[in-house]
Amino acid sequence: MSDLTTNYMGIPLKNPIIAGASKLTSNLETIKKMEESGAGAVVTASLFEEQVQLERFKMDDEREKTSYRHPEMITVFPELEHAGPKEHLYWVQKTKESLSIPVIGSLNAVHKETWIEYAKRLEETGIDALELNFYASPKQFDRDAVSIEEEQIAILKQIQTEVKIPLSVKLSSFYTNPLHFISRLDQEGVKGFVLFNQLFQPDIDINREKNVFLLHLSRRADNRLPLRYAGLLSGNIRADICSNTGILAGEDIVKMILAGATCVQVVSTLYKNGVEQIGKMLNDLKAWMERKGYGSLDAFRGKMSKQYSKDPWVYTRAQYVKLLMNPKDLLENDPAP
Ligand SMILES: Cc1cc2nc3c(=O)[nH]c(=O)nc-3n(C[C@H](O)[C@H](O)[C@H](O)COP(=O)(O)O)c2cc1C
């Protein structure tokens, strides 16, 4: 009988599948179905800076007794109109009260004041941990990497002084050296790293010559990046690694744990295959462990990380050169979408 339990940020999970933050985790009924399907934990949809700002604009309107509404906020985030921070905090608390699995809150702010105030308020809802989404899409030409990283570290430190629950950080891979930045955050006491966040990009409709914003769901091949970083980081940081992006099936969980992850977050596969996919992924994980004779996740965690890999070149430039010299291998190994 395979033991799927794991420990993420000091929180015991019955298995390594966490339903990641998305529109799906903004609905209590859907979250309950995720729990029924066997999810080990859930991350509630993020509270965004825009929700907080919109509420502030509304309050200013009231005070000034005008009908002015910040037009860009309403146009760009029409759905946020009825989703103020108070409602958000209320349903996060309700979600926590309604579930027996751990509930992780998620905050995606911009201003320091918002980060601190809402980290505290989210903690007050009773959540088990808080995920800080450092969504930093490069857009300024005059800011260097150091100033961006220092600002994010300063925000983390401030939140740590105010909040007692474990903190994880969700990052994009767009850092000059993600390994260095992750190590620094690790030294500051971050308990978990969610690697990686997806930055959503606008597309262009060439007939209408208009920008379009399409929902981008991950493909299998997208998990190569988190896989590589789990393998590089495993054994080199104290915090837990929670792999994210392109984890669509049970075998993808196996890969991430072999590389050194503690757990995984899934979103796209739930959109594509329904929340029942969690149960299927767990069955496939169990079947693989039984076939291989592994009684627990710890028995194979990190076995294929850089630290323990039998092939010392696997995470290095040599592999890249070898692949480019042998494009046949490249095509043969193309993963199914
Ligand atoms: C519709 C949708 C909504 C999302 N909303 C959030 C969110 O509120 N907060 C967040 O941190 N990530 C959000 N994400 C990103 C996911 O949590 C996840 O990081 C990303 O989709 C990659 O994982 P996946 O390959 O399993 O989809 C969202 C993704 C989708 C598709």
Give the model's confidence band at 278: pLDDT under 50 very low, under 70 low, under 90 confident, else very high. very high
pLDDT in tens, 216-260: 899 999 999 999 999 999 999 999 999 999 999 999 999 999 999
Average pLDDT in the chain: 89
Give the model's confidence band at 57: pLDDT under 50 very low, under 70 low, under 90 confident, else very high. low
Q: How far is the CA of 166 from the centre of ligand 1 (A)?
A: 21
Which of 157-188 are b and which e, b meaning 16 or more Cβ less than 10 Å from the residue's Cβ? eebeeebebbbbbbbbeebeebeebbbebbee
Place of tokens 């609905």: 27
- At residue 335, the pLDDT reads 58
Go through the chain and tell me how many residues it has.
Answer: 337
CA distance 21 to 135: 13
Question: Which of 18, 22, 46, when mutated, tests ligand 1's pocket best, judged by the most ligand atoms within 8 Å of its CB?
Answer: 22
From the alpha carbon of 194, which atom of ligand 1 is closest? 19
Burial (CB count <10 Å: 0-12, 13-18, 19+), residue 279: middle
Give the model's confidence band at 194: pLDDT under 50 very low, under 70 low, under 90 confident, else very high. very high
Give the model's confidence band at 84: pLDDT under 50 very low, under 70 low, under 90 confident, else very high. confident
- Cβ neighbors of 161 (< 8 A, separation 6 or more) are none
Q: Is residue 316 part of a domain?
A: no
pLDDT over threshold 70, residue 60: no
- At residue 23, the pLDDT reads 93
The mean per-residue pLDDT over the stretch 316-335 comes to 66
Q: Is residue 179 part of a domain?
A: yes
Question: Which of 24, 173, 198, when mutated, tests ligand 1's pocket best, judged by the most ligand atoms within 8 Å of its CB?
Answer: 198
Range of the domain at 195: 6-306
Q: Which of 121-130, 207-216, 270-279 has the lowest mean pLDDT?
A: 207-216
Q: How far apart are the two ends of the chain, measured CA to CA in Å?
A: 32
Q: Is residue 185 part of a domain?
A: yes
Residues in contact with ligand 1 by the CB-under-6-Å rule are 20-23, 45-46, 106, 108, 133, 170, 197-198, 215, 218, 244-247, 266-268
Q: Is residue 327 part of a domain?
A: no
Q: Is residue 30 part of a domain?
A: yes
Q: Is residue 164 part of a domain?
A: yes
pLDDT over threshold 80, residue 55: no
- At residue 149, the pLDDT reads 96
Q: Which of 119-133, 146-160, 202-216 has the lowest mean pLDDT?
A: 202-216
Question: Which of 17, 172, 217, 267, when mutated, tests ligand 1's pocket best, judged by the most ligand atoms within 8 Å of its CB?
Answer: 267
CA distance 94 to 120: 17
From the alpha carbon of 26, which atom of ligand 1 is closest? 8
pLDDT over threshold 60, residue 34: yes
pTM recorded for the entire structure: 0.90
Any idea what the CATH number is for the domain that residue 45 is in? 3.20.20.70
Percent of the chain with pLDDT over 70: 86
- At residue 319, the pLDDT reads 67
- At residue 199, the pLDDT reads 82
CA distance 118 to 122: 6
Place of tokens 């744990």: 257
Q: 240 or 318: which carries more pLDDT confidence?
A: 240
CA distance 45 to 30: 12
Q: How far is the CA of 169 from the centre of ligand 1 (A)?
A: 14
- At residue 330, the pLDDT reads 62
The mean per-residue pLDDT over the stretch 200-213 comes to 91
CA distance 49 to 265: 23
Nearest CA to ligand 1 atom 4: 22
Q: Is residue 250 part of a domain?
A: yes
Are 102 and 128 in contact by the 8 Å Cβ rule? The answer is yes
Give the model's confidence band at 139: pLDDT under 50 very low, under 70 low, under 90 confident, else very high. confident
218: which 2 tokens? 């991950």
Pairing state of beta strands 210-212 and 203-205? antiparallel
> How many domains in the chain?
1
pLDDT in tens, 156-187: 999 999 999 999 999 999 999 999 999 999 99
The mean per-residue pLDDT over the stretch 19-31 comes to 96
- At residue 323, the pLDDT reads 67
